[in-house]
A and B are shown apart, each in its own frame.
Chain A
Amino acid sequence: MDQREEDKIIEGITSQEYKEGFVTDIRQDFIPKGLNEDIIRTISSLKQEPDWLLEFRLDAFRKWQSMKMPTWGHLDLPAIDFQDIIYYAAPKKDSDRPKEIDPKLEETFEKLGIPVREREALAGVVAVDAVFDSVSVATTFRASLAEKGIIFCSFSEAVKEHPDLVRKYLASVVPAGDNFYAALNSAVFSDGSFCYIPKGVKCPMDLSSYFRINAAGTGQFERTLIVADEGSSLSYMEGCTAPMRDENQLHAAVVEIVVEKDADVRYSTVQNWYPGDAQGRGGILNLVTKRGICKGSGAHLSWTQVETGSAITWKYPSTILKGDYSTSEFYSVAVTNNYQQADTGTKMIHIGRGTKSRIVSKGISAGHSQNSYRGLVRMNPGAVGARNYSQCDSLLIGSKCGAHTFPDIQSHNPTAIVEHEATTSKISEEQLFYCNQRGLDAEDAVGLIVNGYAHEVLSRLPMEFAVEATKLLQVSLEGSVG
């Protein structure tokens, strides 16, 4: 392939459009801009929250005020004016039909391919909690799940209907003062999903949350809490999109997962927030804290993420392996293009005996993007016979991008074994030539090679997600052949 053709294809990929970038024109309630204790009281009263939750928020806010924005990430983060953000935006409820979903909202989610009405899909049944800006607009299949004792609802409803459960588990994995963004979230979180699987219950369908940012000038601060009681099992999926705007919008979420003895949770994310345009203007700042704890023995938690969106991603889904012989995995594909920046990875904290973890991270960078893997593996003195294996591969497409690997391995135990390896490479001429020779054009060839490269991770996704993720990879990289 000659240089000119190569350049043309690279240009094609980097000028890819973002399909989900439309804005829904809907009447919305806002609260004033800015952040102070009054705003937090307003959010809390709008949501008719009990006093203990307001106290929790205020306590987190006070902690946040004394904290500084972390700067250790390999990121060029724009200055964020936290007083210039609207912390709560909700679609107006029609007073005549308060129970109905606004048709426009339904249309929006329909357009995004998210069914907010219950129906049998071909690929299988998935229960969805759809969150629009600061509120959850619909949660499907609640009744049929309730028959099995499963609680799946928006976070606000959970606070009203199951206050004991929420109070018991909220901030038990990510304390309010854990880090700057987690503290901010704890102070102003609006809505999210709550899920509780009782003892011994295998959740009959995949549960999923879908987050949509619509209003301008707002931030989204969702809070998800998942509790899997003894011997239960659950597959959970999370997706997200936002309109195209020239401004950066903040998304600071907290996800907490509690996995009790012998329970099994699989958490999958396809993150497709608006990544900004080809010049790096706009896009979502995705600064999230996700953490799970394998509390009891034999617990299992698996994270799978496909990160294609966001101008900036700062995200480290982590597992605390507290129960003996508990296991955890982290599978990640992170794609960055244009001026996107991603600093993502995981933490595996081994506390219990015989705990095992596995990390597979595949980074793909194109355009002018910077893609970093950052991970911590810690073997505590009690982690007798613990085991970790990490593999981080980076693929560079084009000569203007960067790929980085920052692992940190700490071993306090002579019986623990930790292995880490990382490689950096580009798509080889030979591979491209081989595909070209068999009649595939350069673009399809790159798609094929990238999908093969990421296959180990993609194959872990639930089926609906795997199809979407494969398509997203193709779209995100269109035109970046090198």
Chain B
Amino acid sequence: MDSSNSSRAGAAAELRPYSAAAKREWTRPGSDGRPAVILIDSSQQRDFVVGAGEKLDVTFIVLPGTSAEIPVNVDIAGPGAVVNLKGLYLSSGKDQVSFNINMRHHAGGSVSRQLFNGLASGEAKCSFFGKIIVAQDAQKTEAYQENHNIVLSEEALVNTKPQLEIYADDVKCSHGATVGKLNEDEQFYMRSRGIPEDEAKVLQMISFVAPVLSGLEDEILATRIENAIRSLAI
């Protein structure tokens, strides 16, 4: 346990005050409720304020060869908001990718869902830090978070810290995190049906990332992701 995420009781103080002015400042991908895809090429902080009844749907994609710190702050300011945050990171070589998500529910009656999946090969270091904070009066909040990782090589390293800070009682919140490997039984099944081992691994990895990319319409990006996955399988 380290002190990087130190927090104190009564940490509702950590719920930063936000203002109408701040709301105008943020870049607005996905703010109209249409899904937005952000291809990460460098470290950059991203802040979103989501008001009553608004929708936010953003997918972050990190391809091999990218090292970046990606802090994302989402402040849910009103009821009836729906936030979908998704992320995919494919890391190899000496890549260092770290997500730092703060999902703050200031107001009740909103829903947030997070899904972040990552593959780490080579000597990559991937870390996921994701915090859901539900303020004391934010009743009827629903907040979910999932983070799944697959470690593909001996030298790769994955750290994950999903966190819940809940100050209201009438809420539904959960998080789940897994770190594992590609399932050997599945590989055996495919190989016994004539699919080469490398291809079997590619299929497994594609099915692993598919839930994150279910709504992706960009064909060119989809092809780039598939090629990236193939590069990891070797």
Q: What residues make up the interface of A, taking CB atoms closer than 8 Å to B?
A: 70-72, 74-76, 316, 341, 347, 370, 374, 376, 379, 381, 394, 396-426, 482
Contacts and interface: CB of A to CB of B under 8 A. Distances in A.
Contacts of A316: 1
Nearest to A404: B165
B44 interface: no
B131 to A, nearest CB: 9
A406 B5 contact: yes
A404 B151 contact: no
Contact of A71 (B3, B139, B164, B176): B3
A414 B165 contact: no
A72 B151 contact: no
A341 to B, nearest CB: 6
Interface of B: 1-3, 5-11, 136, 139, 149, 151-154, 156-181
Given A76-B8, A409-B179, A418-B180, A399 B168 contact: yes
Contacts of B171: 396, 424-426
A411 B173 contact: no
Contact of B166 (A407, A409, A412, A424): A424
**4 smallest A-B Cβ distances: which pairs?**
A396-B169, A76-B9, A424-B173, A411-B179
Nearest to A406: B163
Given A347-B1, A405-B163, 10 more contacts: A70-B3, A370-B10, A396-B171, A398-B169, A402-B9, A408-B160, A409-B159, A411-B158, A417-B178, A426-B169
Contacts of B152: 414
Which of A379, A394, A422: most chain B CB closer than 10 A?
A: A422
Given A421-B176, A482-B169, A406 B3 contact: no
A384 to B, nearest CB: 10
Contacts of A415: 181
Contacts of B136: 399-400
Nearest to A347: B1
A72 B173 contact: no
B109 to A, nearest CB: 15
A414 B154 contact: yes
Nearest to B174: A423
A39 B165 CA distance: 42
A374 B2 CA distance: 11
Given A408-B1, A409-B179, A411-B157, A74 B173 contact: no
Contact of B9 (A341, A376, A408): A341
Contacts of A424: 164, 166, 171-174
Which of A401, A402, A417: most chain B CB closer than 10 A?
A: A402
11 contacts: A74-B7, A396-B169, A396-B171, A399-B169, A402-B9, A402-B165, A405-B163, A407-B177, A417-B179, A417-B181, A426-B170
A403 to B, nearest CB: 5
Contacts of B173: 423-425
Contacts of A418: 177-180
Contacts of A374: 1
B177 A420 contact: yes
A414 B169 contact: no
B169 A413 contact: no
Nearest to B9: A76
Contacts of B169: 396-399, 401, 426, 482
B167 A402 contact: yes
A70 B177 CA distance: 27
Contacts of B149: 411
A59 to B, nearest CB: 25
Contacts of B139: 399
A418 to B, nearest CB: 4
A376 B1 contact: yes
A215 to B, nearest CB: 29
A420 B176 contact: yes
A380 to B, nearest CB: 11
Contact of B164 (A398, A403, A412): A403
A370 B139 CA distance: 17
B166 A396 contact: yes
Contact of B157 (A70, A399, A410): A410
B157 to A, nearest CB: 5
A399 B170 CA distance: 8
B154 A381 contact: yes
B161 A408 contact: yes
B78 to A, nearest CB: 20
Contact of B6 (A72, A379, A399, A423): A72
Nearest to B161: A408
Nearest to B128: A409
Given A396-B166, A418-B179, A409 B161 contact: yes
Contacts of A406: 5, 161, 163
Nearest to A428: B170
